Amino acid sequence: MSGRLTECFATLKEDNRKALIPYITAGDSNPTITVPLMHRMVEAGADIIELGVPFSDPMADGPTIQLACERALEHHTSLHDVVDMVTEFRQTNTTTPIVLMGYLNPVEAFGYEEFAKAAKECGIDGLLTVDLPPEESTQLVAVLKKYDIDPIFLLSPTTTEDRIGKIVHAGSGYLYYVSLKGVTGSSALNVDEVATNVAKIKTQTTLPVGVGFGIKDAESASAVAAVSDGVIVGSAIVKIIENNPDDTDTILDQIGALLSSMREAMDK
């Protein structure tokens, strides 16, 4: 298990705070903005960063993340580039955990072993591949564990108790609970249902549970934080980039302001 993720959640627990986990797609809207944006998000209160690896066919994502992938791919942002970005980020930040999130094929093209080795060297802490359920993950998980990279898995409202058991067994670092049926960027969030399902997951594991999908402002962040260990914010952040693709200052300022407001509401 990665030191940074364990330490991060342990510290949060001591302080009685919940993790704020923003997601951005690497290379969106251009590769030069990604590292400065990561630093700004940490300044604004991010505890962990989920860095999206662009993919040509992001089937589990809604239009917002899909367009982010398309913008990043216009600049040919590859998994190799993402590794370089993390290397650059680590020159001045050695503590904030970084989890890559994406689809399996870029990792297969890189090579499992080669990727895990590069990830370890540059300071990547976890990997979430959306289209890799635990049933298919044996080979990749073994390689990741060898290099102390946490395999992060999704859980959904439809995940059966039996499969919750499999998933918590395969995963480490934290678990990502998808709060609703649908793709990223969907709207209807039911906090009571989230609370019930997170509690159900917690009966089978001591791993922290982060909740994503449908969190877009300080209010929803604070509500979800109250019933989980962390709040994952993706589309609401990426939407800011979509609205200001050529304006780096506005992107940094607006995303910084959104995260600060969430941080404040969550810590109240």
Partner 1 sequence: MSTVRTETVNGRKNSQIKNDLNDHDLSNVDLSTIDWDNLADENGHFGIYGGCFASETLMEAIQELDEAYNSLKNDPEFQASYDNDLRNYVGRPSPLYHAERWSKQLGGAQIYLKREDLNHTGAHKINNTIGQALLAKHMGKPRIIAETGAGQHGVATATIAARLGLECVVYMGEVDVERQAPNVYRMKLLGAEVRPVSSGSKTLKDALNEAMRDWVTNVDNTFYCIGTVAGPHPYPSMVRNFQTIIGREAKEQCLEQTGRLPDALIACIGGGSNAIGLFHEFLADLDVKIYGVEAAGHGLATGEHAAPLSMAKPGVLHGNRMYLMADKDGQVVEPHSISAGLDYPGVGPEHCLLKDLGRSHAVAVTDDEAMEAFHSLTRIEGIIPALESSHALAYAMKLAPTMDKDKTIIINLSGRGDKDINTVAALEGIKL
Q: Determine the Cα–Cα distance for residues 4 and 151; give it in Å rounded to an integer.
A: 14
User: Considering the rule CB under 8 A, would residue 155 count as an interface residue with partner 1?
Assistant: yes
Distances in Å between the alpha carbon of 98 and those of 59, 87, 196?
Answer: 23, 11, 28
Q: How far apart are the first and last CA of the chain?
A: 31
CA–centroid distance for 10 within its chain? 18
Part in contact with partner 1 (CB under 8 A); list of ranges 22-30, 31-39, 107-115, 190-198: 107-115
User: Considering the rule CB under 8 A, would residue 104 count as an interface residue with partner 1?
Assistant: yes
User: Considering the rule CB under 8 A, would residue 160 count as an interface residue with partner 1?
Assistant: yes
Q: Determine the Cα–Cα distance for residues 100 and 102; give it in Å rounded to an integer.
A: 7
User: Considering the rule CB under 8 A, would residue 135 count as an interface residue with partner 1?
Assistant: yes
Phi–psi pair at 216, nearest 5 degrees: -130, -10
Q: Determine the Cα–Cα distance for residues 188 and 220; give it in Å rounded to an integer.
A: 11
Of 92, 94, 158, 203, the one binding partner 1 by CB under 8 A:
158
Of 17, 39, 73, 204, the one binding partner 1 by CB under 8 A:
73
- 136 labelled catalytic: no
Tokens in use for 117? 């080795």
CB of 168 to partner 1, least distance (A): 12
Query: Smaller CB distance to partner 1: residue 104 or 191?
Result: 104
Tokens in use for 44? 């604004």
**Count of residues touching partner 1 (by CB under 8 A):** 47
What residue has token string 């969030």?
A: 189
User: Considering the rule CB under 8 A, would residue 34 count as an interface residue with partner 1?
Assistant: no
Question: 205 near 168, Cβ under 8 Å?
Answer: yes
User: Considering the rule CB under 8 A, would residue 146 count as an interface residue with partner 1?
Assistant: no
Tell me which residues touch partner 1 (CB under 8 A).
Answer: 54-60, 62-63, 66, 70, 73, 76, 78-80, 103-110, 112, 130-133, 135-136, 138-139, 153-156, 158-160, 163, 167, 178, 181-183, 186
